[in-house]
Structures are given as C-alpha cells and as structure tokens.
A and B are shown apart, each in its own frame.
Chain A
Amino acid sequence: MSFAPAQLLDVRNVSKRFGGLQAVADVTLAVDRGELLGLFGPNGAGKTTTFNMIAGAFLPDSGSIVLDGEDITQYAAPRRAHRGVGRTFQLVRPFRDLTVLENLLAAMPSDTAVKNPDAERARELLSRVGLIERADDNASALTLGMLKRLELARTLMISPRVLLLDEPLAGLGEREANDILHLVQAIKGDTAIIMVEHNVRLALPICDNAIVMDAGAVLATGKPDAIRRNPAVIQAYLGEEYA
C-alpha cells in the first residue's frame, strides 16, 4: 500500500480526542479504486472512531481527509454522500415506515453517479442482494440478515465511490456472515471499500490490504498474509485466535 496521491481516498494524520481520552492519534491510511481495505484492532483501538471520522459522523481534531483531490474533512454527512462516500451502520438502521423498495428510493444520487437512481436501478440492486421478492414488504418485517443486505443495497443506491462498512458481520451466524462477504466481493467493482470488522478470521482473507490499530495508533499495515504473521499484531490482538 503506497501513499501516492493517486489514491482515491487519502486520510492523513487524523486525530480525535474525547475528553481525557486520545481515541485516535495521528492515523494515516489510504484506499484506492477497487481496493478492499480491512480495518482491524481490539476493542478501544480507535478503528470505529477513525471510521466515523471518514464517514462524517464527527470531525477530526486535526488531519485531513481527501477524496479524489477534494478536501472533504469538514463536510457534513449528507455532503459526503453527495461526493460519493457511502456508509453502513453497525446496528442496522432501516427506515421502518417504508417498504424495502422505498428504503432504496429514498437515497439521493451522488454527484458523481452516471444517472439518476430510479425504480429499475433499485430493483436491480435488490436482486443482487437477494431481496427482490421482499421489495414491497415493510422494512420492519425483515430479519437481521435481510436488513443488513437492505442497508448495503440502500447505500449502493447512491453509487458511492468509497464504501464504508461498519462491522457488517456483527450479530450474524457463520453462514449469513459468509453470504455478506461474498456479496461484498461481488459488488466491489471499482468501488474503494473500507471495512471495519471484529471477525478477523472471516474478514481478513477477502481483504486486499489490511490495517491493524491498537490504542489509537496504527500497529501494522500490509497484505493479509503479512498481517497474519506480524508478531506485534498477533500479540496485541490475534493471539487467542491464532494460538
């Protein structure tokens, strides 16, 4: 992984402090088109905070976030979405008063999208995530696995250039988790994906690159194999799983 300016998303030296806690200290990362970057780390490592700063949930104390040459550091969430940053939520957040189809139709097309999303595109996305039969069902009637797929499809409706996945496997059984991972790989295409995950065993293999954080800083970066073998990482985090 290089830090050449040609990266689609460039996150430089971001930091965030909450009261007395330095949650994220001077973190730098980058992700390119078609790259799936995994963001791992034990609890409290700061990966979720980093993720949220990229997503626009809150602003960094310092540092910059540059998307395709545009400084989006201070942009609020809707504006980031318009620029092509899409995100899912760890605890699914469907629009419960709307149907599955309407959940997708609510999405605003990003400025960089080729054409306006209409019902056809929505149905196409629903087919890809396997929810087309439920298109006219109320979102509140779906199971957790379905809701995760719905949220993925909804996020894809804005035609994001960067897709941020917040612990997509949380709460899922092994089979459903693998389904989601296959889905992620299938939809990747040209999109840059950053995935925060706890389930390293399942998620690491599908990543093109990975970053492990600990105590607010980057502990290791590199290809999945290198990460797996990195002694510091094993000690800090993977130890029990890979013992």
Chain B
Amino acid sequence: MMLRANTGLAAAATIALCVAAASLPFLGVSAYLTALVYYAALYLALGQAWNLMSGLTGYVSFAHGALAGVGAYAAVIILNAGYPVAFGLMAGVAASALASLFISITSLLLRGVAFTFATLFFQELALLFTRKLEITGGAGGLVLSKIMPVWLPYVLMVATASSATLLVLVLLNSRAGIRLLAIKNDEDAAAAIGIEARSRKVVVFCASAIICGLVGGTHALFTSALYPDVVFQVDLSLIALAVPMIGGVGTAFGPVLGAILYMGAREILQVIAPALHLIIVGFLILLVTLLLRDGLGPELLRLWRRMRVRNVQVAPPQRGATL
C-alpha cells in the first residue's frame, strides 16, 4: 500500500536526520549552532509530546511544560543523590508519568474542558510546590552537583525528538492512531463501535508525559540549575502547543516544520523586537487556527497537490504518512 511505503521512507529519513544532527557537536560546529539545534530539538520533542496527546485526542493540555519541569526536578534530585545519569532520567520519566496519572484520574475521565483546567492548574501547583518544598530547593532553586559535558544532553535531546517523531509517525498509521482520531472527532460515535475512550486517553497522556519527562531530565543536564520560576514558566507549555499548532497538528512532520519556524522566528525576533515575541506567537496561533484549521504543513501540502494536479477536484488530503 502506498501509505506503508511512505511510512518506511519517512521513518528512514527521520533516523538519518537524527544521526546527522546528533553528530554535529563532534564535527567541530560552533557552540551557537549546537545550542540552536539543541533548542530546536527540545521544542520539537515537547511539541510532539503535545501533538501526541492534544493533536490526536483533541484534549488540550497546558501542562506539558510543567510535566517536563517535574521530570527535570526528579532527575536532578536523583543525580544529586549520587545515582548515575540513566537512573536520573528514569526518575524523571517516572515522575512525569505519575503526574500525568494524577491529572488523568481527576479529569481525563470527564469530557471537555475539565482536563484542560486540570492541566492549567497543574502548572500552577507545580510552581507553588517547588517553591515551598525543601527537597526541591525552594525558591532558591536546585543545582546539579556534577556538570555534564554538553554533548550528552545534546545527543539525548536529538534522540528524544526523533523518537517522539517516529512514535507519532508509527501511531498515525496504526489502528490505534485511527481510533484516537475517531475519539477526537466524535467520542460517542467511537463508543458505538466499541472504542473505549477512557483507557486510551489515559495511556496516550501517560506516553506524552513520558516524553516530557525525558525532555525535562535531559534539559536539567544541559542547564545544570533549576529555578522554579524559570522551569515552570508558562512559556514552555505555550511553545509545546504553538509548535504543532502552527506547523501541523495531528501530523508527524507538522511539528518539525513548526519547530523550525519557531526557532527561526525566535532568533529573528531576539534581534529586532524581543518584546513582540508573545504577540507574534499569539497571532500565529490565532491566524492558523482560524484560517488554516490544520496548520501550515497540511495547507502547504494541499497547495502543492493543487499545483500538480490540474482540473481534478482535489479532496482534502488524507491523513497520510508524511504529513
């Protein structure tokens, strides 16, 4: 089937890109470029995590930044206790997964906005708790006792972003992915054909949180210091949703496009008008949601198809492997 060939090709391309990107620091590339690619990978990974949950189920999350933050703190706490890096990352993953279960139990079994509220408040709670608790260093923050070489978080982050993209790619072309989209489109109609929404939503959110935990733990290795206000700022959750929303929600490569666009826009804005950052991001999300529905990626694909095929009525593109 055409679709399957595309998936294989896309997966191969993703892995190739991953390897290429991961080898950059070893090729003597500038620190600036390394940081650029690192952050692009970070935003892509978070964006795919958001895409996995909100893009595929339609349940909007504002907690993704906070879930990463939870992972970061857990990782640092474990690392400072003397455990190896792998344990730290696992701790980060576990913490985020547990956090997602907490949110799921309280709100995901309900329909509609309850979940979104619960994620919104999770962000706040995480901020408040880390400021208060001793184990997280309170308002003064937490510092990683051992400084890591930059290539470690760098490679990890690139790997995480690629894995997340692969996961979304594979999922979208599986029955499980189809069923998630069915839930997103019409939960009742999905129930009528035997799709149990609750357990699926919880599982997907947990998987999404695990990616966030990896991102957070890895980023802790990169920054070496965590401050509550920085870690749990709204920005990260905003980026997590802006990247896929702008690039192409519910697709595998839309977030890739979104991450590249976002990094580009950010770099340009830093130079000319840093204060306009929020306004521009807000406007982009607004315009894309109102006018383009699915994001820039699918829209560009539609235009491309329309240019190639003359005189034939173009049906809206199927939810394919590549985009």
Contact = CB atoms under 8 A, between A and B. Distances in A.
Q: Do chains A and B interact in one complex?
A: yes
Interface string A64-91: 0000000000001110011000110100
Contacts of B316: 138, 140-141
Contacts of A136: 318
Interface residues of B, number: 24
Nearest to A102: B178
Contact of B182 (A55, A86, A98, A141): A98
A97 B192 contact: no
Contacts of B190: 95, 106
A96 interface: yes
Contacts of A57: 188
Contacts, number: 84
B192 A86 contact: yes
Interface stretch (A8-16, A152-160, A176-184, A200-208): A152-160
A108 interface: yes
Interface of B: 175, 178-179, 181-182, 184-186, 188-197, 250, 315-319
Nearest to B316: A138
Given A106-B179, A138-B315, A95 B189 contact: yes
A105 B186 contact: no
Interface in A87-124: 87, 89, 93-99, 102-103, 105-110
A110 B194 contact: yes
Given A78-B197, A81-B194, A98-B178, 7 more contacts: A81-B193, A82-B194, A106-B178, A106-B181, A106-B195, A108-B179, A158-B193
A158 B319 CA distance: 23
Q: Chain B at the A interface: mostly helix, strand, loop or mixed? A: helix
Contacts of B318: 99, 102, 136-138
A89 B181 CA distance: 19
A77 B188 CA distance: 8
Contacts of A158: 193-194
22 contacts: A77-B191, A78-B195, A81-B191, A81-B192, A81-B193, A94-B189, A95-B189, A97-B184, A102-B178, A105-B175, A106-B175, A106-B181, A106-B190, A106-B193, A108-B179, A108-B194, A110-B194, A136-B318, A138-B315, A141-B316, A157-B193, A158-B193
A111 B185 CA distance: 25
B195 A97 contact: no
B186 A86 contact: no
A76 B193 CA distance: 12
Interface string A152-171: 00110110000000000000
A97 B191 contact: no
A136 B316 CA distance: 11
A87 B196 CA distance: 16
A108 B197 CA distance: 12
A150 B146 CA distance: 60
A89 B192 contact: yes
A78 B128 CA distance: 40
Contacts of B319: 97-99, 102
A108 B191 CA distance: 10
Given A97-B184, A106-B179, A158-B194, A89 B315 contact: no
Contact of B181 (A76, A95, A154): A95
A71 to B, nearest CB: 19
B200 to A, nearest CB: 10
Given A136-B318, A138-B315, A95 B186 contact: yes
The 8 closest A-B pairs by CB, nearest first: A108-B194, A81-B194, A93-B189, A77-B191, A107-B193, A106-B182, A95-B185, A78-B196
Contact of B195 (A86, A94, A108, A140): A108
B249 to A, nearest CB: 11
Given A97-B185, A138-B318, A141-B315, A76 B191 contact: yes
B189 A78 contact: no
A89 B189 contact: yes
A90 B184 CA distance: 20
Nearest to A140: B316
A96 B294 CA distance: 13
A106 B197 CA distance: 12
